[in-house]
Amino acid sequence: MSQKLLTVQEAARHLRLNPRSVYLLAQRGAIPATRVTGKWLFPEHLLDEWLESSARDRASAPGSVERPAGPPGSVFVAGSDDPALELLPDALGGQAGGPLLFTATVGSAGGLRTLGEGRADLAWAHLVDPVSGEYNLPHVGHYLAGRPAVLVNLFHRDLGLLVWTGNPRKIRGMADLARRGLRFVNRQPGSGTRHFIDTALSQAGVEPDAIGGYRDEVSTHWAIGLRVLRGEADVGVATRSVAHALSLGFVPLTRERFDMVIPKDAFFRPAVQALVEAVRSDRFRRGLERLGGYDPSQSGRVLAEVS
C-alpha cells in the first residue's frame, strides 16, 4: 500500500479538482488530510479509499444518480460558460457553511445532456428557440426525458461581436463575417453561443464555408477575447463584459437570458437552495454590475416549470 503524502497541488491532480477546492475540503475535514509545519498533506492511499467509499455510498443509495465524487453538500453543475459565473464562489462564500461548487464547461447542450444522464445536479443554459424566441424551455423536455424541472434565471447578458479597439475593419453585423480576408474565431459545437452564431448566420444568408476561421474553435468567452486581443483573429462572438475587461470594441447583437435548469427532485436540497440564494444576493448582483453588460433584475427568480 502506498504511504505517499501528496501536496495540495498533487492531491488536486489526483482527485481531478482545482487546488482551491482541495484546500477547502481539507479545512472542513471532508477529505483525509494532515497539517505539518503549516502545510496540508494528503495520504494517497486514504484519498483512494475515500473515493471508493464515496462511489459505494452512491451506488447503494436507492434511486441515486451517477455524479462525480465529492463531499456532502457539494453542487455539481455542467453547462455553458460565462465570466460572471466566477462570481458565484464568492457569493457562496458569504454564507456560513456554504456548499462547494464544482463546474464542467461543456456548453448548454452538453450541460442539459449531462443533467439528463444523471451526472450533474443542475445545468447552465442559454439555448434559444429561433421560432418562438423562448430560452431553454423548448429544449429541456428533450434532454431530461420527462423529468420535472424548474428554470431559475441567473441573469440577462449582452452578446455581440468582439473586434479590435476602434473597430478598424468596420464590422457591423453577422453578414460582414463573410468578408474576404476577415479572420473569425468560433465557439465549439454544442455551446449556446455556437447555436446562436449558426442561427444568426442562417438568418443573414451567410454560408459557414464562406467565413475564414469558422472551424477555428475555442470553448470560452475569455478565449475569444484573448484571440482578438493578440491579433490572432479580427472578430469573434462573446459577452460585453469580456470586451470591457480587455478594452476591445463591441458590436451588440442580442441580449440573452441565461438560466439554471434544476430538476425538481434536487431543487429543495439545502446545497442547491444555498446556490439559488447566492444568485439572489446583493453581493452577486453588485458583481454583475461591476462587470458590465448584465441585467440582474430577474436573478434568482423561478421563471418556468417543466413537468
Please report the DSSP string for 209-244 in residue order: GGSTTTT-EESSHHHHHHHHHTTS-SEEEEEHHHHH
Provide the residue range defining the domain that includes 187: 158-256
**232 lies in some domain:** yes
Per-residue pLDDT of the chain (307 residues; tens, 9 = 90+): 446 888 888 887 777 666 766 776 776 666 788 887 778 888 887 877 766 655 444 444 333 334 555 566 789 999 999 999 999 988 987 565 668 888 899 999 999 999 999 999 999 999 999 889 999 999 998 899 888 999 999 999 999 999 999 999 999 999 999 999 999 999 999 999 999 999 999 999 999 999 999 999 999 999 999 999 999 999 999 999 999 999 999 999 999 999 999 999 999 888 999 999 999 999 999 999 999 999 999 999 999 998 8
Q: CA-to-CA distance for 25 and 72, rounded, in angstroms?
A: 11
**184 lies in some domain:** yes
**Ramachandran angles phi, psi of 8, nearest 5°:** -60, -45
Number of domains in the chain: 2
**31 lies in some domain:** yes
Last residue of a domain, one of 256, 281, 301: 256
**109 lies in some domain:** no
**186 lies in some domain:** yes
Partners of 237 in the β-ladder: 161
Closest to 191 in 3D by CA, of 263, 88, 111, 76: 111
Query: Residue 8 maps to which CATH number?
Result: 1.10.10
Query: Residue 209 maps to which CATH number?
Result: 3.40.190.10
**16 lies in some domain:** yes
Last residue of a domain, one of 216, 236, 256: 256
Closest to 216 in 3D by CA, of 174, 184, 239: 184
**166 lies in some domain:** yes
∠ at Cα 147 (144, 153), nearest 5°? Answer: 75
> Given this model, what pLDDT does residue 160 score?
98
Last residue of a domain, one of 9, 43, 64: 64
> Given this model, what pLDDT does residue 69 score?
54
CB 144 within 8 A of CB 306: yes
* C-alpha cell at position 83: 465570466
Q: What is the pTM (predicted TM-score) of this model?
A: 0.76
> Given this model, what pLDDT does residue 18 score?
63
| 42 sits in which H/E element | strand 39-43
**7 lies in some domain:** yes
